[in-house]
Structure formats: C-alpha cells, structure tokens
Amino acid sequence: MLGFGKKEFVVQKAAPEDYGALADLHALSFARGWSTSELEGLAGQPSVTILSARLVGKPKLAPVAFNIIRQTEFEAEILSIAVDTTYRRAGLGGQLMREAILHLQADRVGTLILEVDATNVPAVTMYQKLGFETVGNRPGYYASDSQSSNANRATALVMRLELA
C-alpha cells in the first residue's frame, strides 16, 4: 500500500537502456564514476547482476538507485551501490540490499561481502542492521577528487554477512 507522501520504489534487474543513467548516478556518488561502457561490460558478465530502483508508477523515469552484485557459487560481493541524493534516507539502500540478499539466498550463496567508507555512518549503520559484521579494513581505499595522497584517503571497512 502506498503511504500518503511516502515514496515507493520498485526494484528490478537493470535494462541496457538504464546504463547511461546509472553511470550518471555513479559519477555523482563516487570520486571516480564508472562509464556507461564499463557498466555494459559488467552487465555482460554472467556472474554480475545489476539491480535498479524506480519510483512506482514512473517506468519512463530514470532509475534513482542501483546495486551491482558479483557472485560465485559460494560467495558474492557488492561492487557498488548508490542512491540519488533526493531519495537518500528513504530506506531505498536497505530495500536494494534486501533484494540482493534474497537473490543470493535463492542461489544458495553462503557469504556476502562489501567495502564501505568508514566515514559513511548511515551506510555502515544500515549494513549493521542487516546483520553485516566488520571483518577488516583497507586504509587509504577511498579518495575524493581533491585527495591525492594516501594520507588523506578514507578507510574502507570490509563487512561480511553469512547468508546460510
């Protein structure tokens, strides 16, 4: 049921015509954005699933979020996840993660891993609520356009969720 004033989203596999919009969203979300051709290359790999989210009832509008998952028989990794700034804090990141988890559980994948910027407290909190545990870190993993030395780069937390 749609709530009054609440945005509802539908999550589905991204279509090739979505890749340009997803590349734009990636570029807005990360210091080094992925191009349309890079997303096409990822989507062409049988081990990669790209989920996208749109506003319910707005199929012609560009996706407002995505989640890119690569999986093997036993393990999966979130390669990238982003939500348009307009729709952050609406539960969309969690919805995308829950869809990915259900997909992976159906495939009997046992473990899901990801890296997240340690300073991204909302994302870290969301992952912890989903049951992820921090299992390591990668100092100097994330950079912004203005950060050139490793000393100024942010640490990535390596997080894991056991799915089995």
CATH number at residue 111: 3.40.630.30
Sequence-distant (6+) residues with CB within 8 A of 50 are 13, 14, 22, 39, 42, 43, 66, 67, 68, 69
- Sheet holding 133-142: strands in order across? 9-13, 48-55, 65-71, 75-83, 111-117, 154-162, 133-142
User: Does residue 1 lie in a domain region?
Assistant: no
Q: CB 157: neighbour CB atoms within 10 A?
A: 22
- Please write the tens of the pLDDT for every residue from 11-21: 999 999 999 99
Domain containing residue 76: 9-162
* Structure token digits, residue 39: 């997303």
Count of domains forming the chain: 1
- Please write the tens of the pLDDT for every residue from 84-100: 999 998 899 999 999 99
List the beta bridge partners of residue 137: 157
User: Does residue 140 lie in a domain region?
Assistant: yes
The pLDDT value recorded for residue 140 is 84
User: Does residue 50 lie in a domain region?
Assistant: yes
pTM of the entire structure? 0.88
pLDDT at 2 over 50: no
User: Does residue 4 lie in a domain region?
Assistant: no
The pLDDT value recorded for residue 90 is 87
The pLDDT value recorded for residue 6 is 53
User: Does residue 3 lie in a domain region?
Assistant: no
- Please write the tens of the pLDDT for every residue from 99-157: 999 999 999 999 999 999 999 999 999 999 999 999 999 988 877 555 455 556 889 99
The pLDDT value recorded for residue 3 is 40
